[in-house]
Amino acid sequence: MAAKLTMDRFSIAARQINAIRSSAMKHRVARMLDEAQGRRHDADILGASLDTRSDSQAFLRVLVFEVLLKAAVLASGQSRAGGHDYKQLWKMLPTASQDEIMGIACARMPGHADLADVGKLLHWFQFVFEKARYSYELQDSQTPEQVREKGRKWEERGALIDEAEIRYYPSELECLTEGLVKYVENAL
């Protein structure tokens, strides 16, 4: 009888701890969603401006994506979602969660966004976050004139995305971001 009473108390305590953790995690995910939505709003303001001088809008959108990806990982039941390895974070999501996010993303801009290779997109989004935010480091061995000339020649060749040093994939990023937003909102 004493053993059963101890087990019942342990079971109740474990459920209470899980409920507290679950509640705290839900609050954290909600804060992450709010932060991401605020930054997304600011990126929209930058995007509407005709007087921008940098890729800050694109960088903000990738930051939004990262926060939402981490929120989705936590909302899916994982206890931790850190770092900037977007492929690893994506792999932490259960297949059903990935499918839900991709379903929403694919419906967002059919025919305008190529979401067939998520791994490639995650690679480039991570590259933008980790490397392109300091694009001057990517061009350390070049003078400003050389950088401009390189860009001019790239434009003359048709500005093919497969030849770009930095690839943003804005339509794909928007679609995946929307998928993550809806997934996280549904989880809350």
Distance CA 85, CA 91 (A): 10
Identify the residue with better confidence: 11 or 145.
145
- The whole domain housing 115 covers 2-131+166-187
State the average pLDDT over residues 121-146: 92
Distance CA 52, CA 166 (A): 18
Residue 145 within any structural domain of the chain: no
Residue 54 within any structural domain of the chain: yes
CB 115, CB 172: distance < 8 Å: yes
Is the pLDDT confidence value at 1 over 90? no
Q: In the structure encoding, which two tokens stand for residue 188, read together? A: 């809350």
Is the pLDDT confidence value at 17 over 50? no
Count how many domains the chain has. Answer: 1
State the average pLDDT over residues 119-127: 98
Distance CA 57, CA 76 (A): 28
- Average pLDDT score, the chain: 90
Is the pLDDT confidence value at 68 over 70? yes
Residue 51 within any structural domain of the chain: yes
Residue 75 within any structural domain of the chain: yes
Task: Give, in degrees to the nearest 5, the angle at Cα 64 between 61 and 70.
Answer: 145
Cα–Cα nearest to 126, from 70, 79, 180, 175 = 70
Query: pTM for this one?
Result: 0.85
Output the domain CATH number for residue 121. Answer: 1.20.120
